[in-house]
Structure 1
Amino acid sequence: MSSSNSVTVQILDKEYSIICPPEERNNLVSAAHYLDSKMREIRSSGKVIGADRIAVMAALNITHEMLHRQEDRSAAPAGGATREQVRDLLDRVDQALSDETGTKKN
């Protein structure tokens, strides 16, 4: 993939460049904004300290919300696809956090 497929998003005051297909660009930006707002919400509560822990708590909260929505829509045929999308987003967050940690150590 070329750099033209790279999207830069800002989450909790840090920039992340993520490669994604052009047709997924808007969804990725929306997901990043949503994640950023959840992480800011958790950070402002003062109960969780550290970007890694805040990210994990945000991921758990978002996943919990998603599972509740799925239960509410018991007739939803695309439940497996939604779970796969969430897993993909969580993998991207994990990768971005791993990249950040690796950069700090160097």
Structure 2
Amino acid sequence: MPPEKQTALTIRILGRDYSIACPDGERESLLNSAEYLSRRMHAIQRKGKTLGVERIAVMAALNIARDLIAAERRLERQEAGLPATDSEITERLSQLQLHIESALKEPN
């Protein structure tokens, strides 16, 4: 099987440009991922303390990993026919509140 063709794609995260090798057919997904990551990093940056980009990236990665694990657990519970727990509902509401606050603070 021949290797998948890749093209260079420039993405912008937290105001910085990065050139990334992108497999053909994944461009839209990578752009959406970069935009999501940039929004999460901006939200952390806006919370106050002056942090370096590396620390902001690590904190965003940890938050995204936590969200992924929580989503996997919800899916497992859903597939097993179990209802959502109170802590899962509370966590989801907190996530939605963060998204709302982030969207309201972003310049148009």
Match of 1:19 in 2: 21
Secondary structure of the structure 1 residue equivalent to 2:42: helix
**Is residue 36 of structure 2 the alignment partner of residue 34 of structure 1?**
yes
**TM-score when scaled to structure 2?**
0.64
Confirm or deny: 8 A CA contact 1:42 1:48 kept in the other structure: no
5+ residue gaps in structure 1?
A: 77-106
Name which of 31, 54, 57 aligns with 1:55. 57
SS in 2 for 1:15: strand
Report if aligned partners of 1:9, 1:32 keep a CA contact under 8 Å in 2. Answer: yes
Unmatched 5+ stretches in structure 2: 81-108
Count of aligned pairs:
74
Q: Give a deviation string over 1:39-80, Cα, whole Å, max 9, x none.
A: 00000001351100000000000010011000000039xxxx
Distance (whole Å) between structure 2 residues aligned to residue 9 and residue 46 of structure 1? 25
Q: Where does structure 1 differ by over 3 angstroms across 4 or more consecutive aligned residues? A: none
Matches within 5 A, 1:56-71: 56-71=58-73
Once the two structures are TM-superposed, the CA of residue 20 in structure 1 deviates from its matched residue by 1.2
Q: Which of structures 1 and 2 has the bigger CA Rg?
A: 2
Partner Cα distance (2:66, 2:23) in 1? 27
